[in-house]
């Protein structure tokens, strides 16, 4: 039976007990409104550790749009049931004041990692992510923490944060989970209108097709092709599509500029912002 924890002290007491027993802790930080993508992370955490702890907390410091924060879907009871069924022992559902008894003024230096792509369009977002995740790591002291590759830039930044703070936690990146039509699962999908939900799978369809064009297209032409193909649908509007070095996240000019290359995209479907990516090599 899952236990719901709401205070930092409750979590710390349980973690201390688990550590004394030599138990390994797997941790999955979430903002709730859980779907099969989250559950795939959770199941991996359950399988690879003695105990899995999941947090459900809509973190205000990573939102630079107050409406986005207000409208973010919240389904705590459903989330708890899903986690219970997945074998999670503890879910941490703190209040805002519990996580931020005083304002967190820390500023992280991620170099260029948080200046490109999402960072360009959502200034301060990744600093807020680093604030809350580092707080969770301090509270939960996990051996392993699990993050989805859908948020490719976030995963890269979390790995950098762990190095910067010299934290003893293994960051495990997990594959994107998609619906049968290819759309990457996201809590925001719940906010899509029927028409936009129908249009959204063309994002991944286009990204998939672009993989086959790397032989004949240079980086710039392929970038333009992806953007124009998706924008042909009047219900979708690309905010950015960038083909980047998977390690530094800096844009590349030629396919041989980097050993590992990823294409990252953000698309507006009405007033809902969808992100996705594709690994080229």
Q: What is the 3-state secondary structure of the chain?
A: CCEEECCHHHHHHHHHHHHHCCCCEEEEEECCCCCHHHHHHHHHHHHHCCEEEEEECCCHHHCCCHHHHHHCCCCHHHHHHHHHHCCCCEEECCCHHHHCCCCCCCCCCCCCCCCCCHHHHCCCHHHHHHHHHHHHHHHHCCCEEEEECCCHHHHHHHHHHHHHCCCCCEEEEECCCECCCCCECCHHHHHCCHHHHHHCCHHHHHHHHHHCCCCCCCHHHHHHHHHHHHHCCCCEEEEEEEEEECCCCCECCCHHHCCCEEEEEEEEECCEEEEEEEECC
List every span in the chain annotated with CATH 3.40.50.620.
3-174
Quote the distance between the C-alpha of residue 234 and its chain's center: 27
pLDDT of residue 78: 96
Catalytic residue among 35, 38, 196, 260: 38
**pLDDT confidence of residue 63:** 92
Distance between first and last Cα of the chain = 43
Structure confidence at residue 26 (pLDDT): 98
- pTM, whole model, 2 decimals? 0.95
Concerning whether 38 is annotated as a catalytic residue, the answer is: yes
pLDDT means per 10 residues in the chain (281 residues)? Answer: 97 98 98 95 98 97 89 93 97 98 97 96 96 98 98 97 97 97 94 97 98 97 98 98 97 97 98 97 96
Q: What is the structure's pLDDT at 67?
A: 86
For residues 222-241, one letter each, b for 16 or more C-beta atoms within 10 angstroms of the residue's C-beta and e for the rest, the string is: bbebbbebbeebebbebbbb
Cα separation of 201 and 199, whole Å? 6
Token pair 């509270």: residue: 139
| pLDDT in the model for residue 65 | 84
With CA atoms as reference, report the closest residue to 15 among 57, 41, 53: 53
| Under 8 Å between Cβ of 74 and 58 | yes
Q: Do residues 205 and 279 touch, judged by C-beta distance below 8 A? A: no
Write the CATH number of the domain with boundaries 3-174: 3.40.50.620
Q: Look at the domain 187-279 and name its fold.
A: 3.30.1300
**CA–CA distance, 52 with 54 (Å, rounded to integer):** 7
Residue span(s) of the chain under CATH 3.30.1300.10 come to 187-279
Distance CA 127, CA 64 (A): 11
């Amino acid at each position: 039976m899952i236990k719901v924890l709401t205070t930092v002290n409750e979590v710390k007491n349980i973690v201390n007990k688990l550590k004394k027993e030599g138990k390994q802790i797997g941790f999955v930080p979430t903002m709730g409104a859980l779907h099969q993508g989250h559950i795939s992370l959770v199941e991996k955490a359950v399988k690879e550790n003695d105990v899995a702890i999941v947090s459900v907390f809509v973190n205000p410091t990573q939102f630079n749009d107050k409406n986005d924060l207000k409208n973010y879907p919240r389904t705590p009871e459903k989330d708890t049931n899903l986690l219970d069924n997945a074998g999670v022992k503890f879910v941490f559902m703190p209040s805002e004041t519990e996580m931020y008894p005083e304002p967190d003024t820390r500023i992280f230096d991620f170099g260029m990692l948080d200046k490109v792509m999402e960072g360009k369009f959502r200034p301060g977002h990744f600093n807020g992510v680093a604030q809350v995740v580092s707080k969770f790591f301090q509270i939960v002291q996990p051996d392993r923490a699990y993050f989805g590759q859908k948020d490719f830039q976030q995963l890269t930044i979390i790995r950098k944060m762990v190095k910067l703070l010299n934290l003893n936690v293994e960051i495990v990146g997990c594959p994107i989970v998609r619906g049968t039509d290819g759309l990457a699962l996201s809590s925001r999908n719940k906010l899509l209108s029927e028409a936009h939900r129908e249009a959204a799978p063309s994002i991944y369809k286009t990204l998939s097709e672009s993989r086959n064009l790397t032989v004949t297209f240079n980086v710039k032409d392929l970038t333009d092709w992806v953007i124009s193909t998706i924008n042909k649908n009047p219900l979708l509007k690309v905010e950015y599509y960038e083909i980047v070095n998977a390690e530094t996240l800096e844009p590349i000019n030629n396919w041989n500029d980097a050993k590992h290359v990823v294409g990252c995209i953000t698309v507006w479907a009405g007033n809902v912002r969808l992100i996705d990516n594709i690994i080229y090599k």
